[in-house]
Structure 1
């Protein structure tokens, strides 16, 4: 059996907003939500086989760092979609800015950052 990625854990400032964004952009649903480590709250959002674990710490004054300059930091989350143009429009509808568009073999892609600075790469092979 080949190993399968089950989840990635991200820290966010607003769980409800992050859950709504992932549902609207990717159709990912809330699988579980509850209390978590350090007095925080976690929500699992995704499909039946994989998800993003969204963690909100109770202390939002924690320092922010660019993960590209932190060894072990998260650089971006890549998501494959069927209709790149439709997802890009929904990203814009949320007030977020698509950037770094590229057509390449075998597909197309763009990037955007959510309100917490988490970078997403959205890809279509259609």
Structure 2
């Protein structure tokens, strides 16, 4: 059996605020929240089977450079959605700017950055 992704953990400025817009835009729910390593705070947000762990350390460092040129950088988080147009409307309603729209075999996609400069790709695959 191949491995499946259970969660990804990344650092954000405000885990609760990030989880709130993710619940609104992606239809997710908060699975857990509380204190975590190094006197930080973490919020787990997603579905019943997989999630994102949103972590804020007690003393965050400033970001340095582009993730695309930094070894170990997070380049983007890609999510499959059922209705790309409705998802784009929700992203815009949350206050984010969409870009890099593209149609390609076998679907369509667009990107946006959140307030922490994290890039997201939303994709809808064509169904036969």
TM-score normalised to structure 1 length: 0.94
- Runs of 4 or more above 3 Å deviation: none
Distance 1:10 1:93 in 2: 24
- 2:7 and 2:50 in contact (8 A); partners too: yes
How many residue pairs align between the two structures? 125
Gaps of 5+ in 1: none
Q: Deviations over 1:14-38 (max 9, x none)?
A: 1221111111111111011111111
Higher mean Cα deviation, 18-27 or 107-116?
18-27
Distance 1:70 1:38 in 2: 24
Distance 1:63 1:13 in 2: 10
Q: CA RMSD in A?
A: 1.0
1:73 shift after superposition: 1.0
Counterpart for residue 99 of structure 2: 99
Gaps of 5+ in 2: none
TM-score normalised to structure 2 length: 0.93
1:59 shift after superposition: 2.1
Distance 1:71 1:100 in 2: 24
